[in-house]
Structures are given as C-alpha cells and as structure tokens.
Amino acid sequence: MIYFQIFANGLVLGGLYACIAVGFSLVWGVLNVINILHGSFIVLGSYVAFFCYVHLGIHPFISTVIAGAFLYALGYLLQAGIINRVVSAPVLMTLTLTFGLDLILNNGMLLAFTADYQTVNLAKPLGTVQLGPVFLPGDRLAAMVLALLLTLILYRLLRDSRIGRAIVAVRMDREAASLMGVDVPGINAVTFAIGAFMAGAAGALLSIIFPISPLNGPLFLGKAFVVCVLGGLGSVPGAMLGGLVLGVIESFSSFWFGPDRAVTISFALLLVLLFVRPGGLMGRRGYE
C-alpha cells in the first residue's frame, strides 16, 4: 500500500511542478524565448508571500494573487522595455540576454534578502487529510488544488478570451497574426507578463512547502525545463501532464534510489526523451 502513498505524493508535487512550468512553457512557445529569469521570478513570488505573511498576516494562499500581480508588472516592464528589442534575434542572443537579466535580479535578491533560508510557518496548519489508504498534509493538498485551478484558469483564458486567442494566433504564425491586425509586440509583453504572473503565483504556493532562498532559482528553472520538454512546448495540457509525470517519477525514484538520485534520473530521462521524441509526450505545435 506504500505505493499508493508514493503515487499520491508524486501527484501533489506534480501539480505544483505544472504550475511552475506552465508560464515558462507559454513564453517559450509564443515568444520563442527561453526565459532564464523564470526561476528567480518564482523565488521573488515566494518572498512576496513571505513578507505579506510575516508583516501583514496575509495567508500565502491569498497572497498568490498579490505575488502574481507584482510579477505581472515586473514582467511586463522587462518585456516591453528590454526583451522586445531583440525578441526576433537568434536563440543565443535572447537566451544570453535573459541570463544577464537573471544575474542582475538574483544578485539584487541576494543583497536585499541575503542567502539565508526563510520559511513560512503557518499559525493554523490544515492538518492531515485521509483519502482511503493515503495520508496527505492538508496545506500541500490545498496548494496543489490551487495550482491546478490557476493552470485551468489560464487554459480557459487562452481558449475563450479575445487576448487569449490573439496569443495563440501569434504562437501559430507571427507574421500572419500581424497581418490580421494583432499588435504583436503588445501580445509579446502580455504573454511574458502572464508567464511571470504564473511564476509569482507558483512561488507564493511553494513558500509554504519549500524554504525560500535566491539559491533555489536554478533548481526551479531546471524543473521547468524538464516539464516543458516532457509535455511538449507551449501547450497548457502538455505542461500539466508533464508536471504530473515528473512529480510521480521523482517520487518513485527517490523512494527506490534515494532523493539524491531523483534529479539525475529526471535529467537522464530528459536527454533520452530529447533523443527519441523531441516534440514531447503531447507534442503538437500551435493549437490548445
């Protein structure tokens, strides 16, 4: 019966991974930019939630929206002010640019918040939930449900709203979208901002589970990479599936081979997948 427990743990973790990766995947798919800043965005979201909780007593679940909005503004400014200038340059240029921006942001966070690990200790934790043979911490379960809810909202937004259709149109064909009257630079900025919003929201949710430090940025970025390639680029259901798959794989491999090996195994899996199926498990370009 231990396997049910491990599987459930993996799903809970995977829901959060999906939320981490979906913004990254969106930016990559629509803008064709690998956003190295994504890991630092998540950490910044965690810090917003941390300070809201410590100084204002706002529960991290509520500050999900605050952290998201803060990151949305930051992301919009970065994209409209800097990244849009080189958005159509080769991969090397945009990747190196976001790496440079990440060095600045991460160094800034180190100066402002130090490298010490901070934790959010909830005054009233939700206790443990029992589902048949499986026991789950209530807070983690709630965070996972919220993460999946956010991902679902993003999915509906892309499908049903005017701006969402414009984003999908830019992803499918930039030039054609431009000819049909879509403001491509504007859509780029909004897309990047939405990606940052998802990062900030995910950061706020993660703040109740993981210790917070600027040093965690690359860790989250690595997860986003793996989920993205697992699920296929730029599709919300793909990121969701990829996140859940990665969560379950990590959960089982840390049970069988020890937690140290979990990261190695997920990277090895990624390399194999890139070799045999570069499009991802649900690889299909364009549509939602």
Tell me which residues touch other proteins (CB under 8 A).
28, 32, 34, 82, 85-86, 89-93, 95-97, 99-104, 106-108, 111, 218, 222, 225, 229, 260-261, 263-264, 267-268, 270-271, 274-275, 278
Residue whose CB is less far from other proteins, 161 or 264: 264
Rounded least distance, CB 26 to other proteins, Å: 14
At its nearest, how many Å lie between other proteins and the CB of residue 125? Answer: 34
CB of 105 to other proteins, least distance (A): 8
Structure tokens at 50: 């941390």
User: Toward other proteins, which CB reaches closer, 28 or 50?
Assistant: 28
Residue 3 neighbours by CB distance under 10 Å: 10
Which of 102, 139 has the CB closer to other proteins?
Answer: 102
In whole angstroms, the minimum distance from the beta carbon of 260 to other proteins comes to 8
Least separation in angstroms between residue 171's CB and other proteins is 14
Specify the residue, 6 or 219, whose C-beta has the smaller distance to other proteins.
219
Residue 51 to residue 63: CA distance in whole angstroms: 10
Between 210 and 225, CB nearer to other proteins = 225
